């Protein structure tokens, strides 16, 4: 395998620069400018540049084009949503692909496949992939690939799994409203807080008593807000959460039961229950043939391939790309000997060595003879 240690200073600089300008979904303005400037400085062709995100093609005249995708958005670090940090490692995904493109454009004459690169906004919102697809980022592509860092795996490990890999994700908000009253006289009004807590408790039984236990799913309530004083029963209360699934029937069951429980709570407590659900991602299924080729390509190499893993309940909008053309989503370990802060944790970071391994992965994927033979 090619070594990319000579890129270490530049990889470190990219991590620092992109980390410094971390921006939220669909507001990655400075990040996009930084990416575009890097591409232009290194003479990498650009096809489309948007306010947030861009894509382009290194065309070597081959019949086949494969797409390589990196996400670019960051996460909020405070409740107000005014400060942001790359707690999911998207800056490292961007750095990996930028360095790989720098290398590949310098070796364009050796390529046997055209490269469509995609720097995608708004993965955390689950809608960035759909935006880029609408703009034609996969037009003419035969395959698509993506990388994400993983804090549960050792640095140098790669997770590759054919078939079911990551869950579909639905985000929901539930609003309870009723007649407010003095907390000392609850019988004279409606207690939306008690109604909401019973709603949460009953919804957990969807997973434990209504769903087939063989089928994977999870339902979590993660945010609650309401009320204004210790002695006033709240007039309104709002809850947010998510459920994850692999099977369309399970998704339908969860949605149906959540609404049925809402109707029951309304009947019992006399409060209004309004449920709004937004689909974030569909289940992600890696193409079996392409995944097996990658396992063959990287087995016994510097990157240790791990295929013994269960499907993950996390969601990823890369799944939408895989509905349009076959491809593979890969997880790359970043953890040291003593463990690592998890994704979305305030202390999460990506070591520069992981960026170099990701760069190597992209270059090997594009240039390796095993892949080239498929194109001849």
Q: Could you report the per-residue pLDDT of 230-283, keeping only the tens digit for each?
A: 999 999 999 999 999 999 999 999 999 999 999 999 999 999 999 999 999 999
**Mean pLDDT within 54-66:** 97
CATH number of 168-280: 3.30.70.360
**Mean pLDDT within 338-355:** 96
In this model, does residue 289 exceed pLDDT 90? yes
What tokens were used for 249?
């029937």
Instruction: Sketch the domain layout of the chain as residue ranges.
Output: 5-165+285-375, 168-280
| Alpha-carbon gap, residue 297 to 305, rounded angstroms | 10
pLDDT for 204 equals 97
pTM attached to this predicted model? 0.90
Q: Which residue has the higher pLDDT, 208 or 79?
A: 208
168-280 shares the fold of 5-165+285-375 = no
Q: Which of 108-122, 208-222, 303-317 has the lowest mean pLDDT?
A: 303-317
Dump pLDDT digits (tens) for 148-206.
Answer: 999 999 999 999 999 999 999 999 999 999 999 999 999 999 999 999 999 999 999 99
Angle at 69 between CA 66 and CA 70, to 5 degrees: 160
Q: Which residue has the higher pLDDT, 178 or 304?
A: 178
| Alpha-carbon gap, residue 52 to 54, rounded angstroms | 7
Dump pLDDT digits (tens) for 7-28.
Answer: 999 999 999 999 999 999 999 9
- Which position has the token pair 């997973």? 207
Classified by CATH at the fold level, domain 5-165+285-375 comes out as Aminopeptidase (3.40.630)
In this model, does residue 342 exceed pLDDT 50? yes
Q: Which of 71-75, 276-280, 304-308 has the largest mean confidence?
A: 71-75
Among 278, 277, 279, which residue's Cα sits nearest to residue 174?
A: 277
pLDDT for 135 equals 98
2-33 burial, b for 16+ CB within 10 Å, e for fewer?
eebeebeebbeebbeebbebbbbbbbbeebbe
**Mean pLDDT within 53-62:** 97
pLDDT for 2 equals 62
Angle at 163 between CA 214 and CA 287, to 5 degrees: 165
What tokens were used for 140?
């003419």
**Mean pLDDT within 78-89:** 94
């Amino acid at each position: 395998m090619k070594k990319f240690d000579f890129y270490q200073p530049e990889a470190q600089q990219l991590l620092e620069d992109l980390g410094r300008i971390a921006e939220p979904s669909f507001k990655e303005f400075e990040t996009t400018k930084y990416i575009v400037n890097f591409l232009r400085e290194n003479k990498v062709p650009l096809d489309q540049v948007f306010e947030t995100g861009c894509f382009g093609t290194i065309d070597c005249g081959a019949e086949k084009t494969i797409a390589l995708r990196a996400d670019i958005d960051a996460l909020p670090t405070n409740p107000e949503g005014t400060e942001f940090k790359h707690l999911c490692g998207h800056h490292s995904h961007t750095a990996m692909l930028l360095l790989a493109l720098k290398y590949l454009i310098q070796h364009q004459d050796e390529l046997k496949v055209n490269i469509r690169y995609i720097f995608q906004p708004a993965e955390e919102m689950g809608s960035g992939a759909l935006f880029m697809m609408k703009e034609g980022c996969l037009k003419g592509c035969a395959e698509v690939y993506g990388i994400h860092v993983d804090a549960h795996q050792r640095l140098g490990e790669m997770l590759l799994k054919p078939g079911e890999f990551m869950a579909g994700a639905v985000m929901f908000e539930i609003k309870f409203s009723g007649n407010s009253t003095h907390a000392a006289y609850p019988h004279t009004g409606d207690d939306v807080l008690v109604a909401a807590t019973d709603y949460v408790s009953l919804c957990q039984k969807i997973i434990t008593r209504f769903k087939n236990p063989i089928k994977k799913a999870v339902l979590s309530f993660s945010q609650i807000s309401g009320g204004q004083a210790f002695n006033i029963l709240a007039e309104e209360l709002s809850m947010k959460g998510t459920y994850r699934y692999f099977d369309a029937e399970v998704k339908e069951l969860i949605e149906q039961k959540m609404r049925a429980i809402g109707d029951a709570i309304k009947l019992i407590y006399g409060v209004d229950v309004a449920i709004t659900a937004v689909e974030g991602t569909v289940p992600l299924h890696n193409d079996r043939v392409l995944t097996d080729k990658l396992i063959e390509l990287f087995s016994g190499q510097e990157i240790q391939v791990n295929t013994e893993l269960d499907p993950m309940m996390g969601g990823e909008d890369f799944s939408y790309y895989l509905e349009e053309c076959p491809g593979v989503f890969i997880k790359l370990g970043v953890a040291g000997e003593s463990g690592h802060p998890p994704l979305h944790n305030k202390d999460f970071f990506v070591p520069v060595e992981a960026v170099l391994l990701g760069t190597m992965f992209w270059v090997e994927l594009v240039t390796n003879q095993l892949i080239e033979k498929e194109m001849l």
